[in-house]
């Protein structure tokens, strides 16, 4: 049995586990279970599960890749500069916890955009919801596309699986375990998926440290010597100048967590305001540690790659008659002598799935990647369905339909958005192939 088949079997087993959880949690589920988990979610489960939702597959792949990525500023590499953005996130979560959460609980909201209708008018309510649905659909499918594309390039293409099949199967998986329970289910499944993501993160760090025969402290010293560990960019002209980055992170959190139905839907599913604040602050603190671990892993990945023959270099191309030079990092092609560039987003997948890691680490990577993908996808799909039903159709106030009819309508909308997500992923694929 080839490694690709083994990896797919593990993914299948993982998905079966999600379906079992979905079956247990979705029994006797109604629309309020789907929308806000009947306001019975445990704060510590929500806090832990939100880590997976916040990080997503983009963080799992991209953040480690930034550490050794070459820059054009005063600093040769990206280093740990991303952590200033995380500090901004941390500040933003405090603002959400003490300003926005009390407001949402006071108004007993199912959709946070209901506030716009009560504060301003119906039009503001509808437009706010519509903007969320459009932006979340595009943003979620863009993140999904990145992860699906990684799986396709490094794993499934070799098995002859077309891209559209990969996309359809993953979305079908998400649809199946969110179909009945919605938030009630994903609070539990996101906790499981976050656990696997962190397990994958720790396992990869331990393996690389062991392989390089280094302790964590020694590895940090090596990274520091290579200028991989600087946190603060003091170049005011740089786009990653630390004050700009911190402020940017703060406003990103306020907008993409505090004013985002997907993230707040889970927070307002907690039984009371006090526990919801506990959830938010615990989540914020944990995120500081997890992101630091991802950055440390990124540095280790570059060290591991260099230990196995990777190097920095330049790729020269002729574009429109002009010479174009691109910084690169990777392994030289034996025949041509050119570097196969894996600097950045491709680093982690390439090392994990192209034979540089042993099979068990590759399995752990795939499970971690899938675990990072699903919380982002299931939360987005549930949130846009909820917002459409509650904000645009006023399903909670509709007295002309029975609860059974409302549930059937919500399921149809959930299925429709799944199809929309699929179409958007294929559009991203077509654009990527063109450019």
Q: Which of 66-75, 158-167, 220-229, 394-403 has the highest mean pLDDT?
A: 220-229
Predicted local distance difference test score (pLDDT) of residue 432 = 85
Predicted local distance difference test score (pLDDT) of residue 303 = 94
Distance CA 309, CA 239 (A): 32
Distance CA 124, CA 117 (A): 6
Distance CA 215, CA 238 (A): 33
Backbone angles phi, psi at 157, to 5 degrees: -60, -40
pLDDT at 206 over 90: yes
Predicted local distance difference test score (pLDDT) of residue 295 = 94
Q: Which of 170-184, 304-318, 381-395 has the highest mean pLDDT?
A: 381-395
Q: Which of 54-63, 94-103, 379-388 has the highest mean pLDDT?
A: 94-103
Distance CA 347, CA 211 (A): 17
Q: What share of the chain is helix, strand, coil (3-state, %, to 5)?
A: 70, 5, 20
Predicted local distance difference test score (pLDDT) of residue 73 = 67
Distance CA 367, CA 357 (A): 15
Task: Kindly indicate the confidence band of residue 212, based on its pLDDT and cuts at 50, 70 and 90.
Answer: very high
Task: Kindly indicate the confidence band of residue 208, based on its pLDDT and cuts at 50, 70 and 90.
Answer: very high
Tell which wins on pLDDT, 164 or 317: 164
Distance CA 51, CA 61 (A): 15
Give the model confidence (pLDDT) of 408-423 as tens digits.
898 899 999 999 999 9
- The residues pairing with 340 across neighbouring beta strands, listed in sequence order, are 331
Chain mean position to CA 47:
15
pLDDT at 222 over 80: yes
Span 17-44, mean pLDDT? 76
pLDDT at 318 over 70: no
Cα angle vertex 374, ends 19, 101, to 5°?
105
Domains observed in the chain:
8-22+47-310+363-434 (1.20.1730.10)
DSSP secondary structure code for residue 390 in this structure: I
Distance CA 291, CA 91 (A): 15
Mean pLDDT of the chain: 85
Distance CA 49, CA 44 (A): 8
Task: Kindly indicate the confidence band of residue 24, based on its pLDDT and cuts at 50, 70 and 90.
Answer: confident
pTM recorded for the entire structure:
0.83
Tell which wins on pLDDT, 210 or 407: 210
3-state secondary structure of 253: helix
Q: Which of 25-34, 47-56, 267-276, 362-371 has the highest mean pLDDT?
A: 267-276
Distance CA 63, CA 345 (A): 8
Predicted local distance difference test score (pLDDT) of residue 266 = 80
Span 396-402, mean pLDDT? 82
Task: Kindly indicate the confidence band of residue 55, based on its pLDDT and cuts at 50, 70 and 90.
Answer: confident
Number of H helices, E strands in the chain: 16, 3
Distance CA 210, CA 423 (A): 44
Distance CA 207, CA 352 (A): 12
Long-range CB contacts for residues 24-27, cutoff 8 Å, separation at least 24: 25/181, 25/184, 25/185, 25/188, 26/179, 26/180, 26/181, 26/184, 26/185
Predicted local distance difference test score (pLDDT) of residue 321 = 62
Predicted local distance difference test score (pLDDT) of residue 90 = 94
Structure tokens at 173: 């998986």
Instruction: Report helix angle 359-387 to 3-26, nearest 10.
Output: 40
pLDDT at 4 over 70: no
């Amino acid at each position: 049995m080839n490694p690709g088949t083994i990896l797919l079997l593990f993914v299948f087993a993982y998905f079966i586990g999600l379906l079992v959880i979905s079956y247990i949690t979705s029994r006797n589920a109604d629309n309020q279970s789907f929308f806000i988990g009947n306001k019975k979610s445990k704060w510590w489960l929500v806090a832990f599960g939100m880590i997976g939702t916040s990080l997503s597959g983009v963080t799992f792949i991209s953040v480690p890749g930034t550490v050794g990525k070459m820059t054009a500023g005063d600093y040769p590499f990206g280093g740990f500069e991303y952590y200033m953005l995380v500090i901004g996130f941390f500040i933003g979560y405090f603002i959400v916890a003490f300003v926005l959460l009390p407001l949402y609980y006071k108004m007993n909201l199912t959709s946070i955009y209901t506030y716009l209708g009560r504060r301003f008018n119906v039009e503001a309510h509808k437009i706010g919801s519509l903007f969320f649905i459009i932006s979340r659909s595009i943003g979620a499918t863009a993140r999904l596309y990145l992860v699906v594309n990684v799986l396709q390039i490094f794993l499934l293409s070799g098995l002859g699986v077309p891209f559209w099949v990969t996309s359809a199967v993953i979305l079908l998986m998400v649809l199946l375990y969110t179909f009945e329970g919605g938030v009630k289910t994903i609070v539990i499944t996101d906790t499981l998926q976050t656990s696997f993501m962190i397990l994958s993160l720790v396992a990869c760090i331990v393996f690389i440290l062991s392989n390089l025969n280094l302790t964590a402290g020694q590895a940090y010293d090596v990274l520091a010597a290579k200028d991989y560990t600087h946190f603060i960019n003091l170049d005011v002209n740089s786009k990653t100048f630390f004050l700009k980055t911190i402020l940017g992170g703060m406003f990103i959190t306020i907008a993409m967590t505090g004013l985002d139905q997907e993230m707040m839907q889970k927070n307002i599913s907690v039984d009371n305001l006090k526990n919801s604040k506990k959830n938010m602050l615990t989540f914020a603190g944990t995120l500081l540690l997890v992101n630091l671990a991802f950055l440390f892993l990124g540095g280790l990945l570059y060290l591991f790659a260099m230990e196995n023959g990777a190097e920095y270099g330049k790729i020269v191309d002729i574009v429109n008659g002009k010479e174009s030079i691109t910084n690169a990092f990777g392994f030289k092609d034996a025949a041509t002598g050119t570097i196969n560039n894996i600097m950045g987003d491709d680093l982690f997948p390439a090392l994990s799935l192209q034979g540089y890691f042993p099979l068990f680490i590759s399995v752990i990577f795939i499970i971690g990647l899938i675990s990072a993908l699903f919380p982002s996808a299931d939360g987005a799909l549930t949130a846009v369905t909820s917002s459409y039903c509650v904000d645009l159709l006023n399903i909670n106030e509709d007295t002309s339909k029975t609860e059974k009819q409302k549930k059937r309508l919500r399921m149809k909308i959930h299925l429709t958005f799944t199809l929309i997500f699929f179409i958007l992923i294929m559009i991203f694929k077509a654009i990527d192939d063109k450019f």
